[in-house]
Amino acid sequence: MKNGIMTLVALGLILIGCKEKKPAGEVPEAKGQTKPKNVVFILVDDLGWKDLACYGSSFYETPNIDKLAAQSNRFTNAYSPNPVCSPSRAALMTGKYPTRVGITDWIPGYENKNTLLQGPEDLYELPLEEVTLAEVLKEADYKTFFAGKWHLGDTGFYPEDQGFDINKGGHHKGRPPGGYYSPYKNPKLSDGPEGEYLTDRLTNESMAFLEENKDHPFLLYLSYYTVHTPIQASKKHIAKFEAKKQALKDSVALFKKEGIGQTVINQYNAAYASMVYALDENVGRLLEKMEALDIMDNTLVIFTSDNGGLTTLMANRKAPTSVRPLRAGKGWAYEGGIRIPLLIKRPGQKQGNEIDAPVISMDMFPTILSELDLPLRPDLHQDGISLSPLLDGKENVSHKSLFWDYPHYHGSGWTPGQAVRKGDWKLIYFYEDDLYELYNLKEDISEEHNVAQTRADKLEELKEALKYYNEKLEAPRPTRK
């Protein structure tokens, strides 16, 4: 089982295509620059596509992130490579599809004995044989800093084992073990004063790192635990949104059935809204610190999420947010589970821009290298492409197709399946019933009209694309019990 695989990996045996650790290689000094470029990468946990005002929310307030968006390239068709966290985080670190890495479920995954299928065995950690973005930048003499959620392995597989010089709070848990207020019960983060808010603390640690390293090229990877459960309001801001909630037309959750689960279709949760507002406040603090240190004009800023928002749950549980008009949410390969916000602000950029081309999280690795004027490493980031041409306005540069592989069950009601997008068309496949669903996203962003029966030509075309990825990545399938 999974624990056995973890043990073998820890012993250094070759599993699921893992290779001996390769050095990131000699990297020449960045060329033609008066100041070295830095990277600030902000990753928010479970932040939905519509959880920001600049992406359409009218209940949540995000003035600082909106200001960042107004000076950034804002992507409208950005995707996570998986609808749950650990696989997407592995893809960000490696530039590879989660299937290629061997992590296709959150760690340790959802267990349910009363299912038709058994999901394939999965790794419990990002193999040390993988060369991460942090390792490549560290070899290029970048100072590397990690704060927040890791969820890619236990002791021996922490951020400091994968290329980060400093780790503040990154360990094996996928949610804050002590909640959002100190004491945190986090083995990699000392407790703060009683009542300290975790989102504030991680930002404070990041700002201290900026102060100490403003004159040296750095990668700051700020991976907030928020807005993952438990939903614990920011005490500083909850009254604001409790009052705002009273003015909502629908101040209680409304639902739509999704498989054996239910999806929230309106944003109603004041506590969640306060967490988003606290996130925004802290992003603003970080950006203000960068301005004060005079490093904004030589720093690449990326802001994104690891998967879709938590909108869909089983057993009559009430999810905290909604991403309508997208269908479903975290755990599902419908758009609500995989479409995410993405902002990329180039050093010195002042004017915002909207980019509609489909992109995916693996693209961050080569894009960062390209933007830093460092050589691309296609031997490493095998499934990502540099988005620099898109940032330059060359709209013809993008993926021909994108793939999602989630062969496991999930507490949202998802059953094992896959999906592929090609152009405006998207195919979803469910293993239990050998069922295909086909949607035209340009005409039907909510994926309400399955045209698999009427567009046999597109059905076969996307089936071929799905077959291509399964063969290329040697995707393991679930088995009948």
CB 132 within 8 A of CB 367: no
Q: What is the pLDDT of residue 106?
A: 97
How many angstroms separate the CA atoms of 257 and 263, rounded? Answer: 6
Query: Residue 111's pLDDT is what?
Result: 79
- Mean pLDDT across the chain: 93
For residue 382, give both structure tokens: 């095998």
The residues near 302 (Cβ < 8 Å, ≥ 6 apart) are 39, 40, 41, 42, 342, 343, 344, 345, 364, 368
Name all domains of the chain by residue range, CATH numbers in brackets: 33-398 (3.40.720.10)
User: d(Cα 24, Cα 429) in Å, to the nearest integer?
Assistant: 37
* Model confidence pLDDT, tens digit, residues 423-436: 999 999 999 999 99
Q: Which residues of the chain are under the pLDDT cut of 50? A: 1-33
pLDDT tens-digit map of 444-473: 999 999 999 999 999 999 999 999 999 999
Tell me which residue has tokens 């201290």.
Answer: 208
- Within 10 angstroms of residue 453's Cβ, the number of other Cβ atoms is 9
Q: What is the pLDDT of residue 112?
A: 81
